[in-house]
Amino acid sequence: KGDGIRIAIIDNGFEVNHPDLKEAVVAGAGYFKQQGSTALFVDSLSQYPNSKHGTFCAGIALARADNERGGCGIANQSDFLPIAALPDQVGSQATLARAIAYAADPSKENVNVAGADIIACSLGPNV
């Protein structure tokens, strides 16, 4: 069921306070905010990009069981490291590469938390 496993999912955003996910979110969750031609990493859940797509993808893996919500993820005891990197479902490959590097080793963006054991992305044709 994923106990002790940290799963990073990279998408355009997540509902980080969703009842099925909020207990799974761990320190280090953040997002890449576009500033001109540069993407800055924001280590915060404040003003976090929201997306039904990212939330759905996270729920498949991480939705908590036995909370009377009607479903559960396949690794429902895992920790969740959400990383928003693709605003409006379009983004640069450089930002995506930074998001993957961050998921593996958050110290690359000066964040002192453990990296993910599993990294997942659900990408369409726009990346």
pLDDT digits (tens, 9 = 90+) for 28-74: 999 888 877 788 888 888 787 888 888 999 999 999 988 777 788 99
Using 50, 70 and 90 to split pLDDT, how confident is the model at 21? very high
Selected from 3.40.50.200, 3.40.1360.10, 3.90.650.10, 3.50.50.60, the CATH number assigned to the domain covering 6-121 reads 3.40.50.200
Domain ranges of the chain: 6-121
Task: Give percent above pLDDT 70 in the chain.
Answer: 94
What average pLDDT does the segment 102-124 reach? Answer: 91
Strand 38-42 versus strand 30-35 pairing type: antiparallel
Q: What is the model's pTM?
A: 0.89
Whether residue 127 has pLDDT greater than 60: no
C-alpha–C-alpha distance, residues 108 and 47, integer Å? 22
